[in-house]
Amino acid sequence: MPTDRKQSVQSTSRQLTVVQALREAVREEMRRDEQVFVLGEDIRIGGSFLFTLGLLDEFGSERVLNTPISEAGFVGLAIGAAIQGMRPIIDFQYGDFIFTAFDQIMQQCAKLQYMSGGQVSIPLVFQLPTGASGRGAQHANSVETVFCGIPGLKIATPATPYDAKGLFKSAVRDNNPVMFCVHKHLYGSKGRQLAESSISRGHVPDEEYLIPLGRGDIKKRGQDITLVANGLMLHRSLNVAEALENEGVSVEVVDPRCLAPFDTDLVINSVVKTSRLLIVEEGSERGGWGAQLAADIAGQAIGFLDAPIRRVATPNVPIPFSPVLESAVIPDEARIRSVILELMDH
């Protein structure tokens, strides 16, 4: 059964990086709807991860706006514009900087629709590079985690070019704020040293398509254990799963793709089949989305489990700079593999 990643090596298919797929998505949506515009720091030259590269030429500086370094200000501004019918996309240089605008997210953007009794809605996409990439603690947050508990937000964490494009287009058309979190190592932007750059390329069809927010995807079928992972961790998990297949352990790899809404049913159905669950995420273990998923399964499907629910995540530490330390704390293939084997012993 071919996974998305496998499709990527079919010679006939069109191969894009994640950031190329995202640029296609944003361009298509900007052509389709002139209320869509992009703002952020230095986006006229492409932004930090080249998400906006070339947009200025096609759409002009009225729709591709360089902002001052004023995150709370321009998030608030985007909220106001969205309330008045526009559909802003905010490109963050690093998702990490959004914490300086956190009140605008948590208290305004996520709640105004509700507080107003439905009088306003806020279609607004946040393009947020997430995760660790060798720059120390302040540039290494798994930002998606922080937003998981906030009602009113949607959260996407695509791992492949195909998913990135389809989800991004849905995000732009959604009438709610969407936190679109892409791992910094997955964009495949030129000039960026990617730890695992090969995994950033993949098949993207020519024809238009959308992927609904909230629908997960089984990236590899298997019988023995359910492994749920997203973002960069999905790739590491798939590598392990593929290797284990040859060793007789059949891992089903589920990519939730979105953290809110979360496709819990997809996981439950898989767990019913495999009776074992491992959750892999990059964010720190305490308070991660994996905790919520584990709790949901322990609440709704505990009877199907033959083993403890295990999690592999970063321990509760800020991310250290030194490359040896960064790799020591962030889940790697060896850790994922060994926990799978432990669970198979149950």
Q: What tokens does 253 get?
A: 């790899």
Among 21, 132, 267, 297, binds a copy of itself (CB under 8 A): 297
Examine residue 272 and tell whether it contacts other proteins (CB under 8 A).
no
Within positions 319 to 338, which residues make up the interface with other proteins, using CB under 8 A?
320-325, 328-329
Within positions 34 to 53, which residues make up the interface with other proteins, using CB under 8 A?
37, 41-42, 44-45
* Closer to other proteins by Cβ: residue 1 or 324: 324
Among 70, 107, 175, 338, binds a copy of itself (CB under 8 A): 107
Examine residue 108 and tell whether it contacts other proteins (CB under 8 A).
yes
DSSP assignments along 259-294, one per residue: EES--HHHHHHHHHHH--EEEEEEEESTT-HHHHHH
* Closer to ligand TPP by Cβ: residue 68 or 299: 68
The answer to whether 139 is a known catalytic residue is: yes
Examine residue 316 and tell whether it contacts other proteins (CB under 8 A).
yes
Among 18, 25, 112, 233, binds other proteins (CB under 8 A): 112
Examine residue 217 and tell whether it contacts other proteins (CB under 8 A).
no
Q: What tokens does 176 get?
A: 């709610």
Examine residue 45 and tell whether it contacts ligand TPP (CB under 6 A).
no
Burial of residue 111, with CB atoms counted within 10 A of its CB: 0-12 exposed, 13-18 middle, 19 or more buried: middle
Q: What tokens does 178 get?
A: 């969407």
CB of 68 to ligand TPP, least distance (A): 9
Residue 146 interacts with which of a copy of itself, ligand TPP, other proteins, none, CB < 5 to 8 Å by class = a copy of itself
Q: Which of 182, 180, 127 is nearest to 154 (CA)?
A: 180
Examine residue 69 and tell whether it contacts ligand TPP (CB under 6 A).
yes
Residue 96's alpha-carbon distances to 52, 143, 205, in angstroms, are 19, 7, 32
Examine residue 141 and tell whether it contacts a copy of itself (CB under 8 A).
yes
Placement of tokens 């905790």 in the chain: 291
Identity (one letter) of the amino acid at 10?
Q
Q: Using CA atoms of 136, 140, 146, 148 in order, give the dihedral in degrees to the nearest 10.
A: -160
Q: What residues are paired with 217 via a beta bridge? A: 255
CB of 128 to other proteins, least distance (A): 15
Among 32, 286, 328, 338, binds a copy of itself (CB under 8 A): 286
In this structure, are residues 229 and 255 in contact, taking their beta carbons and an 8 Å threshold?
yes
Within positions 187 to 206, which residues make up the interface with ligand TPP, using CB under 6 A?
none
Q: Which helix (H) or strand (E) holds 183?
A: strand 177-183
Examine residue 136 and tell whether it contacts a copy of itself (CB under 8 A).
yes
Q: Which of 145, 41, 171 is nearest to 97 (CA)?
A: 41
Q: Using CA atoms of 250, 256, 262, 267 in order, give the dihedral in degrees to the nearest 10.
A: -10
**Neighbour tally for 245: CB within 10 Å:** 13
CA distance 161 to 166: 9
In this structure, are residues 88 and 127 in contact, taking their beta carbons and an 8 Å threshold?
no
**Neighbour tally for 17: CB within 10 Å:** 23
The span of 92-100, 145-153, 317-325, 327-335 binding ligand TPP (CB under 6 A) equals: 92-100
The span of 7-15, 23-31, 160-168, 287-295 binding a copy of itself (CB under 8 A) equals: 287-295
Q: Which residues are catalytic?
A: 139
Residues interacting with a copy of itself, by CB under 8 A?
72, 96, 99-100, 102-103, 106-107, 110-111, 114-115, 136-138, 141, 145-146, 148-152, 260, 283-284, 286-292, 294-295, 297-300, 302-303, 305, 307-311, 316-318, 320-321
